[in-house]
């Protein structure tokens, strides 16, 4: 099964655009803030802090996700959404044999959703890989969950036969 969240890119560009427009509006209204408050510098710093927090949250959440379980290997890719076509700056890529998958878990926080998969490496040790699935739709997460459950179920059958 192959899936990705490539259609979300326009939404993220719109959110960045809105944040930039808000920053311009706040800058333009600086003079009105300076007349109404006792300390205009603190007011502007608070607004700037809120803007920076929103920008950081948007930047951390906006990641491209791709899942491909066709064939013998499973490929999961997380990378930056905006300039990743030109500069590969935030890519997290994991390719593993289906036999090496031990478990998975989806975590849901307020602004962030993640998928943690547990894999077996060549020495037989367990290690975890974390992926950002915030912008992956609920239906696609359900399909990924079904695909991973199927792989784990097949792995358990082969372990019992051996």
CATH 2.30.29 fits 62-161, yes or no: yes
pLDDT at residue number 87: 72
Q: Please provide the size of the chain in residues.
A: 162
Handedness of CA 131, 143, 57, 76 (dihedral sign): positive
Going from the C-alpha of 65 to that of each of 16, 20, 135, the distances in angstroms are 19, 25, 8
Specify the DSSP element, H or E, that contains 132.
strand 126-132
User: CA 158 to CA 162: how far, in whole Å?
Assistant: 6
- pLDDT score recorded for residue 59: 84
pTM recorded for the entire structure = 0.81
Specify the pLDDT at position 90.
80
Q: Which long-range contacts (CB under 8 A, 24 or more apart) does 17-20 make?
A: 19/51, 19/54, 19/55, 19/58
Q: Quick one: pLDDT at residue 83? A: 67
DSSP-based helix, strand, coil % in the chain, nearest 5? 50, 30, 25
| 10-residue mean pLDDT series, the chain (162 residues) | 88 88 80 67 79 86 92 92 72 93 94 94 93 94 96 87 66
- Interior/surface letters 26-46, b for 16+ CB within 10 angstroms, e for the rest: beeeeeeeeeeeeeeeebbee
């Amino acid at each position: 099964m192959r899936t990705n969240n490539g259609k979300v890119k326009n939404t993220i560009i719109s959110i960045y655009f809105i944040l930039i427009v808000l920053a311009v509006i706040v800058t333009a209204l600086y003079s009105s803030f300076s007349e109404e408050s006792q300390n205009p510098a603190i007011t502007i710093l608070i607004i700037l802090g809120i803007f920076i927090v929103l920008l950081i949250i948007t930047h951390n959440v906006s990641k491209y996700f791709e899942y491909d379980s066709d064939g013998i290997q499973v490929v999961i890719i997380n990378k930056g959404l905006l300039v990743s076509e030109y500069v590969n700056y935030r890519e997290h890529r994991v390719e593993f044999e289906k036999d090496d998958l031990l478990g998975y878990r989806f975590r849901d926080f307020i602004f962030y959703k993640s998928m943690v998969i547990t894999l077996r490496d060549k020495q037989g040790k367990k290690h975890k890989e974390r992926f950002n699935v915030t912008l992956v739709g609920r239906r696609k997460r359900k399909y990924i969950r079904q695909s991973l459950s199927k792989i784990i179920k097949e792995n358990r059958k082969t372990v019992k036969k051996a």
